[in-house]
Amino acid sequence: MHKGRGFCYNIHPMTILGEPLFAKDANGRLKSRVGTIFFKTPGLVTTGAFHAMQRMEWIEHVNKLRGAEGLPPMTEAEEDAELEQSVDLIFTDRQILIRPDPNRVDLAVKADEELQKLVSKRNIRYLNTHSAKVRNALRARGENWRMARQPISQDDIKQIIESSRVAILGEPTFYYYNSASGTRYATVAGSEMATELDPATFRAQLKEAQVLFARRNRLGNPELDLFPVTTPIEIKQKFKALEIDSLNDRELCAAVHAIDAEWRMSIPPELRVESLDNYDWRMAMAETITRGPNETAAGAGELIQGISPEFYRQIEWLPGARVIDNGEVIFDSIWEEYNRTRDPALAEICDLRVKNIIFALTRFFADLEYINIGRITRSLARDSEGQPRRRNVYICQCKSKRKPLAAIYMLTFQKWGIAEHLDEGKDLLRSIIEANEYADYIMDRRLMCQQLGMNLPHRVAPGSFTEKYYGRNQYNGTTVRAYYYLRSYVNGTASDKIPLSKYRNPAFALKFAELMGEAAALDLVVGRRTAEKENLFDKYYEVIQIGSDGLPVRLVVTDHSGSFASYQHALEDSVAPYANVVRRRAPYLTDVQAFADAYVGAFERKLAETQQKYRDRRRAFDELFVHRPYDVGGSGAYRWAKTLERLDHCDPALIAARLRRAINA
């Protein structure tokens, strides 16, 4: 039935009043930007420019249906009941955005399920993800992937920030621009730099800023705002209230300096160092300039509680599962769509390996309520040139029915498994044998590190499951085993991600230096290196845990990767890279010498203590791996023997002196 403003047609059991979803005019613009879905009388309205108009039109439509059946129009109470069972929708060129009422998330979920009958689930997203009720509803269905922001590398984040720098009046680039919202953001450092311009230019810059502070762009967003977004509104008001023409140059500069000082004091300490090298500032700025209107994405901390800041935009969430009744596993319904369509785009997120992980977890934990799986798209560890190390690492959010909060686990796949050996051209039997040997070697190295005193995660559960091998070998299509290692997530902050402002506190800096010195000594002993023989220390794996007093209390090495790669060189010849712990933090320390003394002192004490522990219990160390093959070509038992030999013969005082010289070089 044609209706001047659109169409009315039925898709059982729902009536659609208006234009089809995503319909466009002759100029390629959407015919409808908003919609309302109703449930008491099932229907969808896409006519009209406002949700209020669509509700009125739906009431009129339902009354016409009642009239055709000889029924009177709805009473006011019946109309209210009709409208209460509805959900607002917003349409973009490619997505339907559901705007849920946080107190009736059940209706939003129902709308979601109905809309999936019309469009692909990947094109349906939720607004109001800032609401815990909305996030919890999606999380409980294994759907973190539907409210997560797209992952992005640290290098790309730096590039985005650099490229966002813009100017006003063609002057130096003091502002950062959010292209999605159209808002420029001023920083306190940029304001301070502006006072160094020549007086006329500085005055013109301020006048233009005042104009932009008072103006909104075509999207309804401020033309200019202050960073961070938590800056008190009073700071902006003081800039807007400046009587620029009534002040001479000296007075104007002094007035701006006074506002800048108040602005800087209002900023959290970790954001006061405005530099791409300051991790916290970098992440906060990236969040500010990439957030768009109608934002459907929750922040990393909202998606997964207790996660460290270094995981910002590093997790690619994938379809998970929920568990109901007596252990019945219900996979995300996107799998049904993929199985039906075999859409290559869906294949990117419908990862069979993730399904196997979910199977493994539900077998391991018998009382799960839901599982969300995220893939760490690029390793957070870096080599000496800053290049990412690619790893098969997943993060698992598992909610037990017996516990109030979800537990977080890290799952890492074995670097050299059967598939990797097949890719080298080896036959299937040789690949299986070498993968099995490497699995033993991984756990043996963990025991070696523990024996020497390295503080590792308390438990690691090795496991495996079968999957198809697709590669360059003749065994393409063969079922092989994939080996993985599951451990609890370690709370804390990686040593290289500690906010730079923390080092201004002498008590924090000295305690940090001591923990790092002890860890550096053990790291040197076990010879942790990359495949390219680069030093791995202080590059993500060392996690600092903070006590109730705000000071470091513990350091945990989350992964013993690379241990015993270097086992033949004298320790004094390998100590120089450990000087970087002090050198890279020197600009942010109030007392560099005290920090260096604490670091080197702890290093020497730990090295001497470890050496003495070996000498006191020599037999326990020497015989630890006598049951393992001893091969001078580099077997685990041989590397262990060589490690103990050089530990026994080293001079801790000499090595510490070399470390100090490297720091001062």
**Inside any domain, residue 140:** no
Does one domain contain both 399 and 482?
Answer: yes
Query: What's the confidence (pLDDT) of residue 153?
Result: 75
**Inside any domain, residue 39:** yes
**Contact indicator for 494, 308 with CB cutoff of 8 Å:** yes
Region of 110 on the Ramachandran plot (φ > 0 left; ψ -120 to 50 alpha; else beta): alpha
**Inside any domain, residue 145:** no
Query: What's the confidence (pLDDT) of residue 464?
Result: 96
Query: What's the confidence (pLDDT) of residue 345?
Result: 85
* 58 vs 64: CA distance, rounded Å: 10
**Domains in the chain: how many in total?**
4
Q: What global pTM score does this model have?
A: 0.80
Query: What's the confidence (pLDDT) of residue 166?
Result: 81
CA distances to 184, 562, 583, 601 from 579, in Å: 40, 19, 6, 13
Does one domain contain both 553 and 454?
Answer: no
Does one domain contain both 430 and 564?
Answer: no
Q: At a CB cut-off of 8 Å and minimum separation 6, what does 303 contact?
A: 135, 139, 144, 147, 148, 315, 317
Query: What is the enclosing helix (H) or strand (E) of 233?
Result: helix 233-241
Of 234, 268, 290, the last residue of a domain is: 290
**Inside any domain, residue 466:** yes
**Inside any domain, residue 49:** yes
**Inside any domain, residue 659:** yes
**Inside any domain, residue 146:** no
* 333 vs 356: CA distance, rounded Å: 16
**Inside any domain, residue 507:** yes
What are residue 177's DSSP bridge partners? 184
CATH classification at residue 593? 1.10.1070
Does one domain contain both 476 and 330?
Answer: yes
Q: At a CB cut-off of 8 Å and minimum separation 6, what does 572 contact?
A: 650, 651, 654, 655, 658
Does one domain contain both 513 and 389?
Answer: no
Radius of gyration of the chain (CA): 30
Does one domain contain both 391 and 501?
Answer: no
**Cis, peptide link before residue 344, omega less than 30° from 0:** no
Does one domain contain both 109 and 256?
Answer: no
Does one domain contain both 168 and 181?
Answer: yes
Does one domain contain both 405 and 339?
Answer: yes
Query: What's the confidence (pLDDT) of residue 489?
Result: 92
Of 257, 290, 323, the last residue of a domain is: 290
Query: What's the confidence (pLDDT) of residue 220?
Result: 82
Question: Measuring CA to CA, which residue among 117, 124, 119 is closest to residue 141?
Answer: 124
Residue with tokens 């037990």: 400
DSSP state of 8: E
Does one domain contain both 285 and 352?
Answer: no
Does one domain contain both 276 and 386?
Answer: no
Query: What's the confidence (pLDDT) of residue 35?
Result: 93
Domain range for residue 570? 493-664
Three-state SS for 59-105 is: HHHHHHHHHHCCCCCCCHHHHHHHHHCEEEEEECCCCEEEECCHHHH
Question: Measuring CA to CA, which residue among 25, 32, 156 is closest to residue 91?
Answer: 32
**Segments of the chain scoring below 50 in pLDDT:** 1-6, 9, 11-12, 379-390
Query: What's the confidence (pLDDT) of residue 388?
Result: 38
Tokens of 547: 């006590």
Query: What's the confidence (pLDDT) of residue 205?
Result: 87
Does one domain contain both 67 and 169?
Answer: no
Of 248, 268, 290, the last residue of a domain is: 290
Query: What's the confidence (pLDDT) of residue 1?
Result: 39
